[in-house]
Structure 1
Amino acid sequence: MPHPFAPLRALLLALVLGAFPLGATGQEAGAGQQAEPDAQSAEPAPPPRCGTQPMTIGRMQWPSAAILAEIHARILASEFECEVRVQQVDQAAAGSSMGTTGQPAIAPELWLGRIAEVWNAGVKAQKLRQAGATYDQQVFEGWYVPDYVVETIPEATTIEGLKQRWADFAGEGGARARFLSCPPDWACAVINRNLLRAHGLDAYFEIVEPANRFELDTLIAEAVGRREPLLFYYWAPNAVLAQFSFRPVDLGAYAREAFTCLGRSACPGPQPSGFPNEPVVIALAEWVYLEATPVASYFQRARMPMAEMNALLQALGEPGQTVETVAERFVADKSDIWREWVGAP
């Protein structure tokens, strides 16, 4: 005979078993549900595009480097949403600091030949890296003649042509033509003296060495204003090369041993040589490559056309213009150039 309370006991047992499942299977399921993480929260967050350290750009004291610093600061802020700070620095101090502390993070125009020891130490310690060349050309010095000279004397862009037509540069009654060099206390003054001898042009051209860069610019402007035949030395980037139209003279290929002698005051037998390539680079602290890959890729592409920088320097000389306003104008008007740096269509 069934116990009078049997149905009630069965009901209570069923309720207990339902609420607290017994056995290994039930216990493992419960433990598994509590330990299983959310699939989405388990995925690591993507690294910040600009890294985790301050994104500082070293602004050197000369105009082209200052303009580049301001241009890159604006593009990194607008296109990569980086918090960028432009820091006024000296070139040697910047190279040293980048190699020890990683700051500034970026130096857009570093002339490696002038801080070779500091640069090599930073690279060896794996604290510095070259992103790419700052400009689309690597020879920054040369001899030039105005375009209007080439129109009437096409051979004036060659050494042999200058020998043959030197009298056209001398003018009426001139015993020798003028060659405008750089100030006498500059290294290029020694090079130009020896280079004229090496090419046999010292018999036809006398060297004029102005007291300073401003006198050189004045002499060039006066000759161009009078449309006189003119042979002169100059360097880039520079506003003068954008202000007037000039053509480079072909000085031949660079010869290392010959050029080394050209730089000596007592070079016994000068031999011809073109001016050498000079490494001018965008330098990055190593952490930028490791933590801010999109930014590093941007600087690998950010090669400024030299003609464009010459034009920017010319614009900087206009009344009321500053490094900042020139940089803003470039970003606003020259997206056809910098969009390729960003990698955007």
Structure 2
Amino acid sequence: MYQSISTFFILLCLTFSSPANACDVERPITFAGLDWQSNAVHTAIAEFILNEGFDCRTEVIPGTTIPLLQGVARGDIDIVMEVWPDTVNVMWNRGLRDGKVIEIGVNFEGASQGWYVPAYMVTGNNALAPELKSVTDLIKYQNLFTDPEEPKKGRFYNCIAGWNCEIINSAKLKAYGLSQYYTNFRPGTGVALSAAIVSAYKKRQPILTYYWSPTWLLGKYEMVKLEEPVYDSEVFSNLIKQKNPQQASAYPLINVVIGANLRFAEDAPTVVDFLKNYQTSVDIVNELLANMYDRKLDAKVAAIYFLKKYKDYWYTWVEPIARDKILLALDTVGEPK
């Protein structure tokens, strides 16, 4: 009985307080539906919080990086939950300079990219290449990574065709003097790349691949990143400018930011305040994505999992009124299967 009375008064208070917590804008808030899982999960988390805690309507426009970020600059899209500034620096910096977009805050720090091999290749009693530590060691190990289509060369699994990292990795193969020893294999999709890695891992076969974090794959499988020369901004930027680069360096660690259209941000200060507080970590996102993969959860269900498990995180993102409304909404949602 006391619980029923308590719930009644909570609902009553929320009912009368809701006008003060109404959404900043009357139209749906549009998110950039970038085509990778971590962005999909962050978008779903933000959507749930805005829907339930702020009485906002939301929608997601799917697409790839460059068209969607251009949409943010034009005002067709309001929010993008993952901007990797170093991989889209020219276009994004232009939007910042022209006063069309803003960076609201850091979603997570220390996102990384690099060249990986499975841990079983370099550690343990049965390691096939215990001395493989660096990209400079790859020449002597080319026969371990034999390309079935060109058996005289090893195969390097590059980034997805059409992504900026594919261009960077192709330049690195030249700069490290590896082009004559390794084929530059470009998967058509992220799914194709992860499938190749998982297949090799399950069979305990050698594979040399580019990958990035946070991802479900690095949350689930133990991979070792090969050493490269320390990141140098000038050397790195020259990689894609020079036809035959002679130097390369490691990818920089990236602070992935939340971006927005400037005019929208000016019209929606309460939403912006929430997004300024929104911050996760690489470890949490890796764990979340690995769980999503293992349990075959879609992004919306994974968002519920996050909101129920990591309350200590998101409690600090919103005011008490919004938090109570979100908690009530979560109570009506069953546990992810």
TM-score scaled by length of structure 1: 0.65
| Superposition deviation, residue 58 in structure 1 | 1.0
2:103 maps to which of 130, 141, 145: 130
Return the offset for 1:224: 1.2
**Corresponding residue for residue 278 of structure 2:** 302
Distance apart, 1:144 and its partner CA: 0.9
Q: Higher mean Cα deviation, 113-122 or 189-198?
A: 113-122
CA positional deviation for 1:143: 0.6
Are 2:44 and 2:299, in contact at CA under 8 Å, matched by a contact in 1? yes
Q: Which protein is bigger by CA-based radius of gyration? A: 1
Q: Is structure 2 residue 141 aligned with structure 1 residue 166?
A: yes
CA distance in 1, matches of 2:96, 2:21: 24
Change (3 A) 1:61 1:155: same
One-letter code of the match for 1:329? Y
**Which residue pairs with 2:31 in the alignment?**
58
Asked if the contact 2:110/2:255 (under 8 Å) is kept, the reply is no
> How far apart are the structure 2 equivalents of 1:211 and 1:106?
29
178-187 or 212-221: which moved more? 178-187
CA contact (8 A) 1:71 1:328 kept: yes
Identity of counterpart residues, as a percentage?
Answer: 22
User: Quick check: 2:111–2:213 contact (8 Å CA) kept in 1?
Assistant: no
2:55 paired residue number? 83
Which residues of 2 match residues 101-250 of structure 1 at below 5 A? Answer: 105-111=78-84, 114=88, 117=91, 120-121=94-95, 124-125=98-99, 128-139=101-112, 141-152=113-124, 155-160=131-136, 162=138, 166=141, 169=144, 177-182=154-159, 188-202=165-179, 205-213=181-189, 214-250=191-227
**SS state at 1:331 partner:** helix
The aligned counterpart of 1:334 is 310
Tell me how far apart the structure 2 counterparts of residues 100 and 183 of structure 1 sit (CA, whole Å).
27
Q: Structure 1's 243 and 256: CA in aligned 2 closer, same or farther, altered over 3 A?
A: same
Question: How many residues align structurally?
Answer: 290
Structure 2 gap segments, 5+ residues each? 1-16, 324-337
TM-score, normalized by length of structure 2?
0.67
CA-atom RMSD in angstroms? 4.1
- Kindly state the Cα deviation for residue 294 of structure 1 after the two structures are TM-superposed: 5.5
Contact 2:23–2:56 (CA under 8 A) maintained in structure 1:
no
Once the two structures are superposed, what CA deviation does each residue of 1:213-234 show, in whole Å capped at 9, x if it has no partner?
3443333223212223432112
**How far, CA to CA, are the matches of 2:84 and 2:108 in structure 1?**
12
Deviations 1:296-341 (A, max 9, x none): 3432232232343344444444576322111111111222433344
| Partner deviation per Cα, 1:18-55 (whole Å, 9 max, x = no partner) | xxxxxxxxxxxxxxxxxxxxxxxxxxx9x945664247
Following superposition, the deviation at residue 76 of structure 1 comes to 3.9
| C-alpha contact 1:190 1:263 (8 A) present in aligned 2 | yes
Give the aligned partner of residue 33 of structure 1: none
Q: 1:321 aligns with which of 297, 314, 317?
A: 297
Question: Secondary structure of 2:257's partner?
Answer: strand
Check 1:313–1:50 CA distance in 2 against 1; reply closer, same or farther (3 A cut).
same
Residues in 2 aligned to 1:196 and 1:110: alpha-carbon distance in whole angstroms: 26
1:243–1:193: structure 2 CA closer, same or farther, 3 Å change rule? same
Gaps of 5+ in 1: 1-44
The answer (yes or no) to whether the contact 1:190–1:264 under 8 Å persists in 2 is no
1:82 offset after TM fit, Å? 0.5
